[in-house]
Amino acid sequence: MKTNKISIIGAGFVGSTSAFAIMDAGLAGEIVLVDVNAEKAIAEAMDLSQGAAFVKSVTIKAGTIEDTADSDLIIITAGIGPKPGETRLEILNKNIPIFKDIVPQLAAKSPDSLFLVVSNPVDILTYVTYKYSGFPAHRVFGSGTVLDTSRFKSILSQRFSVDARNIHAYIIGEHGDSELATWETTKIAGMSIPEFCDQLSDRCELGFQDHILDQVRHAAYEIINRKGYTNYAVALSVRRIVEAIFGNEHAILTLSSLFTGEEGIKDVYLSMPCIIGSEGIRQILPIPLGTSELSALQHSASVLKKLIEEAPLD
């Protein structure tokens, strides 16, 4: 019987909060937490397990890479997060060696698993995971801009006083400074933003779109500058991705996935709306993009591609 075994590599803020969110949603039969700081993983597993009386039955334990064998899904949150003022891209060189070490071992223990990468810079580290796992691309993806898309919807929701779940909007491209909003296809109740603004007369001043995108791009820095890390919204993003996978939902989420010529972009991971189910990524969706959106997406890809070329991958 399928147990929905999830291994979470890295039991830090993101890993442990994701485990909590997954456990609370009753999505896994078994969760294994692995961390180089073994005591931290043990403590988090104990703390989570002690909530057993309040959630669906789940086994949560700390372990080593050996214990991840036969996982259905491996979530990588291990690594070094950005310090205040440090960009995601600046921490790349610190995290690549960790991935070179763990990914081949994890892949060997769970040859049929899916990989979900959350560690930053997520697009590059997902590419690294793809390369070092030897897995087909559809089984290796990153959380990408799933979180940024939620941030975008939550800001639009506050702006227009409508439920975030009734807004169709995406942040695409790099999970980071070059990401962009797909204003051309953003819809509230089937209306474009200019149409929706017309209904609200005084709410859409000139330049408000740039201001909103700026807020999305700086959201993580705003939080990290104050508390040193982000954990809740990213954990809910992870939970949503897990739900889509184990429910074989064929949901549409902005995951970081391998481009193989889509939009003129090749051999780089970045986010576009993708169909995701139990088999992994089924398809990257070619949503309509305005001319400036397409060139911004291609610019985002070139930023990432340059980093891949410069990264110490061998």
- Residues 26 and 28: their CA atoms lie apart, in Å, by 6
Please state the length of the chain: 314
Give the residue with the Cβ less far from ligand NAD, 11 or 258: 11
- For ligand NAD, which residue of 9, 21, 181, 289 counts as binding (CB under 6 A)? 9
Residue 10 contacts ligand NAD per CB under 6 A: yes
Residue 13 contacts ligand NAD per CB under 6 A: yes
Residue 15 contacts ligand NAD per CB under 6 A: yes
- Give me the half-sphere count of Cα atoms (radius 13 Å) on the Cβ side of residue 221: 12
Give the residue with the Cβ less far from ligand NAD, 175 or 217: 175
Alpha helices in the chain (DSSP H): 13-24, 38-49, 92-109, 122-133, 146-160, 193-199, 208-227, 232-246, 291-310
Q: Check if 138 is active-site.
A: no
Give the residue with the Cβ less far from ligand NAD, 196 or 269: 269
Contact partners, residue 152, CB within 8 Å, separation at least 6 = 169, 170, 171, 181, 212, 213, 216
Helix (DSSP H) and strand (DSSP E) numbers for the chain: 9, 16
What CA–CA distances, in Å, run from 278 to 38, 72, 129, 135? 30, 9, 19, 15
Residue 123 contacts ligand NAD per CB under 6 A: no
- Binding to ligand NAD, residues 231-270 (CB under 6 A): 234
Residue 119 contacts ligand NAD per CB under 6 A: yes
Residue 122 contacts ligand NAD per CB under 6 A: yes
Instruction: Give residues in contact with ligand NAD (CB under 6 A).
Output: 9-15, 34-37, 40, 77-79, 81-82, 98, 101-102, 118-120, 122, 143, 147, 175, 229-230, 234
Name the residues annotated as catalytic. 175
